[in-house]
Amino acid sequence: MPLMKSWVASANEADHPFPLNNLPYGVFSTEGGDPRCGVAIGDVILDVTAAEAGGLIELADEPLFDLPFWNPLMEEGPAVWAALRNRLTALLAEGAEEQAQVEPLLIAQIDAEMHMPFAVSEYTDFYAGRHHAQNVGTMFRGPENALPPNWLHIPIGYNGRASSVVVSGTDIRRPWGQLKSPDHDMPAFLPSRRFDIELEMGAIVGTPSDGPISVQEADDNIFGYVLLNDWSARDIQAWEYQPLGPFQAKATATSISPWIVTKAALEPFRCDTPVREFELLDHIKDCGPMLYDIDLEVTMEPDGKDATVIARTNYNEMYYSAAQQLAHHSTSGCPMNTGDLLGSGTISGPTKPERGSLLELSWGGKEPLTLDTGENRTFIEDGDTLTLTGAAKGKGYTIGFGDCVGTLLPALENPYAR
Amino acid sequence: MPLMKSWVASANEADHPFPLNNLPYGVFSTEGGDPRCGVAIGDVILDVTAAEAGGLIELADEPLFDLPFWNPLMEEGPAVWAALRNRLTALLAEGAEEQAQVEPLLIAQIDAEMHMPFAVSEYTDFYAGRHHAQNVGTMFRGPENALPPNWLHIPIGYNGRASSVVVSGTDIRRPWGQLKSPDHDMPAFLPSRRFDIELEMGAIVGTPSDGPISVQEADDNIFGYVLLNDWSARDIQAWEYQPLGPFQAKATATSISPWIVTKAALEPFRCDTPVREFELLDHIKDCGPMLYDIDLEVTMEPDGKDATVIARTNYNEMYYSAAQQLAHHSTSGCPMNTGDLLGSGTISGPTKPERGSLLELSWGGKEPLTLDTGENRTFIEDGDTLTLTGAAKGKGYTIGFGDCVGTLLPALENPYAR
């Protein structure tokens, strides 16, 4: 598919993340205004709430965009998702009759503040990147026992904390937590000293389910994708995670990109999961290309200094697709709801510059990175800004997500002072 | 505190679970009617939604009981919680002037169907019973290594799945899942063969928090308690839980009692946590009696046969209180919301008949129980009904929760057939 031309000139620029082929969904506000639903096109946002209120978009008897999140549309299902996309494409395409009516509803992105694009029902994070699991397992258990016995048979996942999911741009406060240094006999309550990122994609459930669903049904039920950074306190995690998994180490914050890129926009970029060592059992077997070819990049920017690219990889490095993860999530009969967010797990490629966490990049803190500024890093230091970007590169156009960015603030001196 | 007398005669009966001292909150419906808020008193339910609509209860400018869950009241905080309890006590006490107005708002419990009493925001389950952890650890790792190194320093918890929480009386469907028998090299997708209960109490967050809170603040923020049965597929759990904790094994269902017993009703039953081997760090140190003396009992009833009591224990056997768990949950800055549900972890006492799971009662399936019917059990069989009851026994009165009951239905022949 070539670039689709829009009458919004900036959307036609080479490598612009928001061409007419994309049309990602977000929630924005302008100074003094309430948050509302919008779609990104070039350098502007079409105010979808206003477009619906003004009769330019009519999809249902009740308004779908009068709340500041996209869940009501997500609940409507694939036919309405397609109808909206068709209508937005028609309104914004070169030569659209409605251009004069739509133009007053465009807001410059530079003037907009972005909010959470959807209400997160529940949040699940997976551990489904082969290279990440191999790296982490090698560090902790040696290369022979790197992958747990179940790893090649099910996408390992754990429930995270929906209340801690925040939109890109939200500052992250370094957490306190109980941890135990290897050179101490007893734990202590301290600010985390090994605070990390996890480069991930997040899949958003649109259509709910109640009972086991197949991989194909799971793929059908997914509404779209965001970039996701699962901030992780490695020292808290090391002390707490046995035997029941990570808990407070992962509960400070998880950042997502401001724009939900729909499955329709990503359709040309579908690709297969890798060749498998063991055939998967039927309930999670591949049934079509359900990963996506999306280039991913992480930069680290010390306070007031230039940013350095610290990792480049691709979503196609995953061992399990989001559809397989969602299908697995439903096997026990677990009801899945509109707005459930599934983190892919850290995405790392096979070589060192492709690693999606500082834990891997600095090999557990033993091999510091050198930034372009000349500074060294093992984990994140106060004031560092971490930015995730993603781009699916088509023939003549690019699909972007907007930056997923967060700055680490120093720990509070006394977290219990009010 | 002695029995407080009500003009509802059944509430004054010896050992009745719902005397005036209790006043637990639930959501009920009668044939053909919509679910509404109610409070149990003796054998009847006071329709609180109708009482508010009729002007007998006035607590806020906006109605608090026009939705079929108690979250709006929970959000109001302790002063309004106390005001409602005072008003209900006045309306239902012996000699109340309003008796004639209240009487038409009473519904026989026998005619009511109970629904989820609150909307669960997120669900967290802990592993904070010393005897349970000791038993399970001994089975899996031997008595020397039974407790993980962190166990005596933090209440180990993991996030569960709020969408799977159901009210007492909901049938439970035996799940399928991926599991691996010890005598097979490869996993298989099969119905669970080791399906179990976990006898727990659930604490419900009333007042939200955003940032670390102290144990005292956590206790203040808790609204009330329910009985909780965290149904668990042990064979699925055994295969999946390393390294990131239980996932699908715990996602089929968690049942709670229909009635929320408020902290105020349980006030006379506060008791201390046990003497500690290691002093806890300040952030989760005890600061008052925050466990409760509540007798707990589990019965198993094969289809069409008599029930057998299979376990008797007490909530005061826990090593950590719900307040300590909630405080720990907030250490990383994790926002806690109205309607968050915290499972205590399985409650077992020191002796065999006090064990709160079949895993412990049958010692991993090796020592079958004999029921009063003469049948043996290791884990739950199809058609078995499991019932949890709880009773705080005061001088001359009892505080009950209503039964927390569920019947296990056979696994579907093909879980993917529609």
Domain ranges of chain B: 9-115, 123-409
Whether A105 contacts A44, CB under 8 Å: no
**Contact yes or no for A176 and B248 at CB 8 A:** no
- CB nearest A247 (choices: B157, B176, B335): B157
- CB nearest A245 (choices: B213, B244, B337): B244
Q: Which parts of chain B have pLDDT scores under 70? A: none
Binding residues of B: 125, 127, 141, 198, 200, 230, 237, 241, 250, 254, 346
Chain B residues with CB inside 8 Å of A160's CB?
159
Backbone conformation region of residue B322, classed left if phi is above 0, alpha if psi is from -120 to 50, else beta: alpha
Binding residues of B for Mg(2+): 230, 250, 254
Q: How many helices (H) and strands (E) does chain A have?
A: 10, 27
Give the pLDDT of residue A182.
87
Distances in Å between the alpha carbon of A303 and those of A149, A359, A369, B118, B129?
42, 21, 17, 45, 46
DSSP class per residue in A174-209? PPEEEE--TT-SS-EEEE-SSEE--EEEEEEE-S-B
- Kindly report, residue by residue over B265-275, the tens digit of the pLDDT: 999 999 999 99
Distance CA A357, CA A368 (A): 13
E-assigned strand segments in B217-290: 222-230, 232-233, 254-256, 261-262, 270-271
Whether B391 contacts B261, CB under 8 Å: no
- Residue of chain A whose Cα is closest to the Cα of B215: A416
Specify the CATH architecture of the domain B123-409.
Alpha-Beta Complex (3.90)
The answer to whether residue A132 is catalytic is: yes
Residues of B acting as catalytic residues: 132
Binding residues of B for substrate: 127, 141, 237, 241, 346
Cα B120 from chain centroid? Answer: 12
- Closest-CA distance, A247 to chain B, in angstroms, reads 6
Whether B405 contacts B327, CB under 8 Å: no
Chain B residues with CB inside 8 Å of A414's CB?
none
Write the CATH number of the domain with boundaries B9-115: 2.30.30.230
Backbone conformation region of residue A389, classed left if phi is above 0, alpha if psi is from -120 to 50, else beta: beta
Interchain CB contact of B240 with A (< 8 Å): yes
Interchain CB contact of A145 with B (< 8 Å): no
**Contact yes or no for A178 and B331 at CB 8 A:** yes
**Contact yes or no for A158 and B160 at CB 8 A:** no
Interchain CB contact of B132 with A (< 8 Å): no
- Number of Cβ pairs < 8 A linking chain A and chain B: 194
Q: What is the pLDDT along chain A (418 residues), one digit of tens a residue?
A: 899 999 999 999 999 999 999 999 999 999 999 999 999 999 999 999 999 999 999 999 999 999 999 999 999 999 999 999 999 999 999 999 999 999 999 999 999 999 999 999 999 999 999 999 999 999 988 999 999 999 999 999 999 999 999 999 999 999 999 999 989 999 999 999 999 999 999 999 999 999 999 999 999 999 999 999 999 999 999 999 999 999 999 999 999 999 999 999 999 999 999 999 999 999 999 999 999 999 999 999 999 999 999 999 999 999 999 999 999 999 999 999 999 999 999 999 999 999 999 999 999 999 999 999 999 999 999 999 999 999 999 999 999 999 999 999 999 999 998 7
Give the pLDDT of residue A353.
97
Interchain CB contact of A212 with B (< 8 Å): yes
Give the pLDDT of residue A418.
74
Query: Locate tokens 């529940």: which residue?
Result: A122
Q: Which amino acid is at B57?
A: I
Give the pLDDT of residue A1.
82
Distance CA B119, CA B72 (A): 10
- Closest-CA distance, B215 to chain A, in angstroms, reads 11
With a CB cutoff of 8 Å and minimum separation 6, the contacts of A385 are A300, A301, A303, A307, A405, A406, A407, A408
Q: B116: how many CB neighbours lie within 10 A of its CB? A: 19
ipTM of the complex: 0.97
Chain B residues with CB inside 8 Å of A245's CB?
158, 241, 243-246
Binding residues of B for Ca(2+): 125, 198, 200, 230
Interchain CB contact of A214 with B (< 8 Å): yes
Chain A residues with CB inside 8 Å of B334's CB?
161, 163-164, 248, 251-252
